[in-house]
Structure 1
Amino acid sequence: MKSLEACYEINFSKINFIERKIKIEDSKTIISGASKTGKSYLIYDFLSEFKAKDYIYIDLLDLRNDINEISQNLAKFIKMNEISVLVVENYNFQFELPSCENTIISMLKSEKIKGFKNLIIGALDFEEYLLHDSKHQNITQSFNSFLKFGNLPELINIEEYKKIQRLQEIIYLQCKDETQYEIFKILIENIDEKKSLFQLFNTLKLKIKISKDKFYEICKQYENNKSIYFLQKYNQEKATKKIYSYNHSFFNAISHTKKFKNEFSNLVFLELINKFDDIYYLDSIDFYIPSKNIAIVPVPFFNTFLTGNLVKRIIKNAQELNINEVNIISISNNEKISDSKLKINVIPFYEWALS
């Protein structure tokens, strides 16, 4: 039982964990989410509440672990050592889990198991990022780093010259082979764009050999594990969806092309999905929240004179749906736009994200 004995010796009592807005609260929990969003650290925090002798931590992707040995002996080992907490990371139904008082499972894709609560974890929102960021002196420096290198916890403390390389490595972690990488890459290249999967497939098949069914299947996998989001147009289910990634900075890691507006819009979208379930887009409005009757429009470098026509289109679109409030999210501008029927605010991202 070498693998089980080694796993049983792992001790998480000295892990330095910074609180997240989400935590494990149920004795039977499945944690899922995209790569490097912090699933493991959420587990470490949970385990730190127990004595080391009371839990066993098993990572099925640890090359040292013999899965056959674990599957054959786990139930007996738990009973023999009176273990009350079983953690299995990267579980993929390779074997049936034995009964245990507390069972915590992590996996990329959320799966339904009777008696288990599903917990989906995303990357850091800006408020969480500030709590994790001890390197920068002020909110402006933190925001600049957040904007440039994204929202993944481990990126904060890596030297800046290594960050792009690590982002590229994390992108590859999403992909089992070169085909999956090319699919993930084309999705990232089209963040904040209205592109159908059929359009993307036709573009990609000129580059690699791939079937339509395979392309759609992989896209669905990325959607299921929250690596990619497809945003629907309000009241138009068949309209082309907009594409977003779980880390807005991935585009910067795969291309020398600059799409700052797209990346900034992706960043704003990720703040919204942590707060609302009902997010849609409209013709001139990036994000519409029906439950709050609010429109959100990212305009990084807002200028009243240069964006006058855009504001007119936003107002027209908002009035058609009787929207009460429009928040224009910018990098640093802060002002109010006068309108007889609408409340229109121009707000810096960091102020809006923390409000």
Structure 2
Amino acid sequence: MEILLEELYKTDLYVDKFHDRKVFIDEHSYQINGVSKSGKTTLLKNYLLSLKKSTYLYIDCSDIRIDVTQLNHLLPSFCMQNKIETLVFDNYTPKFKFVNVSQLLLSSEVHYDIDVLEHIRLYPLDYEEFLAYEHKYDSSALNHFVQLGGFAFMHTLHNDQRNLYLQRVLLFTLDEMEFDIIKLCAKFMSQKLSAFTIYERLKLSRKISKDKLYKSFSELVNKGYIHTLSKYQHTRATKKIYLCDTSIKSALSVEKNFARLFENMIFLELLKSKNELFYEEGIDFYLPKKDEIILCKPFVDERRLFKKLESIEAFIFSYGIRKITVVSMNKETSISHPLASVDIIPFDIWALGD
């Protein structure tokens, strides 16, 4: 292990064309969590490249050459002898023991309760971050975002490679049960779906344990591969399911439904805004602290929109809704309503607005 430690210490790190993210690392110690390919390793390496090379040690915990017991024994003295100030455990697992250094950085899919570390949740690219990869900031950028989603690696692949590559990433990262669950979630993206319904469907084609399925479903939520949205003031009602990135839909399902994909896009932007968020019958998203409703209408028709508003008027009145935002693909206008302001806003303007 001494030889491997020396090799890791001397190896030059490399980052190809780093684009700034909305989160960043400074001199504090951090735990960075996010799904596979969300950019955790790139964020870590880019930060390390800003430091003096002799002051840091980068260890990828998934390196099969590592004997964890030996490494835990040797690492404290190695860090002391080489005056390591910043120690990085990429793809961290609790088998690796911490060392007394000035700065400790961890990355993993799962969040660990470690008081001494500040927390960074890293998601795939949102629309604003995605634009850094685009040559033009016109309507083609939004079309590319719809096609590629938020995984940065998609920009490096040809169209015929993307779905198969993403399938391989998920097959490598998730266990068999988790993969079967996310496949079904891809089919029912932006719809109500419970773990029990998933169990009922999967048991038709394979022998399955309900307890294991529930645990795997919970793991996918904890890791951030799927997100759930509760119904307002109905915690026991079936939650809606969203994917961590819309590209997973096309990689795992042949079914097409642009309206649901568009809703998932909007959900992910709202998720990163950290607003309290719910759904309601006939209402895509309700933000109670902002007295706002958001409707997802990629190709909005004003006559149908008026009928939609009539159908939810009781909710608008009862909860004092002041603002109704209708997110579209390209239409922009305002319409009059006796109870609230109604603005139709294109996705690209809405996503960059806040």
Tell me the distance in 2 between the aligned counterparts of 1:277 and 1:161: 37
Separation of aligned partners in 2, 1:303 and 1:29:
47
Contact 2:124 2:244 in 1 (8 A): yes
Contact 1:195 1:240 in 2 (8 A): yes
- The whole-number CA distance in structure 2 between the counterparts of 1:26 and 1:311 is 50
Aligned to 2:4: 3
- Counterpart in 1 of 2:163? 164
> In the alignment, which residue of structure 2 is the partner of 1:119?
120
Letter in 1 for 2:181: I
Residue deviations 1:172-229, cap 9 Å, x none?
24412x2221112112222111122211211111112111111110111111111111
Q: Distance in 2 between matches of 1:145 and 1:2?
A: 46
Match of 1:180 among 178, 182, 193: 178
Distance 1:13 1:218, change over 3 A: closer
**Structure 2 CA distance for aligned equivalents of residues 277 and 120 of structure 1:** 15
Q: CA deviation at 1:288?
A: 0.9
> What's the counterpart of residue 216 of structure 2?
218
Q: Which residue number in structure 2 is paired with residue 128 of structure 1?
A: 129
Give the Å deviation of 1:108.
0.7
Tell me if the contact between 2:39 and 2:122 (Cα under 8 Å) persists in the aligned partners. Answer: yes
The residue type equivalent to 2:42 in the other structure is Y
Q: Is the 8 A contact 1:195 1:243 kept in 2?
A: yes
1:26 deviates by: 5.0
Deviation string 1:309-352 (CA, Å, 9 cap, x unpaired) is 22322444322311101111111111212112210111111111
Match of 1:292 in 2: 290
Which residue identity does 2:246 align to in structure 1? Answer: H
Partner of 2:74: 73
Runs of at least 5 residues in structure 2 that lack an aligned partner in the other structure: none
Higher helix share: 2
Aligned partner of 2:300 in structure 1 is 302
| Partner Cα separation in structure 1 for residue 38 and residue 309 of structure 2 | 36
Show structure 1 runs of 5+ residues with no match.
none
1:61 match: 62
Counterpart amino acid of 1:92? T
TM-score using structure 1 length: 0.94
Q: What is the DSSP-based 3-state SS (H/G/I as helix, E as strand, rest coil) of the residue aligned with 1:281?
A: strand
Contact 2:326 2:345 (8 Å CA) reproduced = yes
Secondary structure of the equivalent of 1:62?
Answer: coil
- Aligned sequence identity (%): 29
Displacement after TM superposition at 1:141 (Å): 1.5
Q: Is the 8 A contact 2:333 2:345 kept in 1?
A: yes
3-state SS of paired residue (1:305): helix
Closer/same/farther in 2, CA of residues 173 and 337 from structure 1, 3 Å limit: farther
* Contact kept in structure 1, 2:187 and 2:255, CA below 8 Å: no
8 Å contact 2:316–2:339 — kept in the other structure? Answer: no
Pair 1:277-2:275 in alignment: yes
* Cα distance, 1:13 vs structure 2: 7.0
- Length-normalised TM-score, structure 2: 0.95
Q: Secondary structure at the match of 2:180?
A: helix
CA-CA distance at 1:90 after TM superposition? 1.0
**SS of residue in 2 equivalent to 1:25:** coil
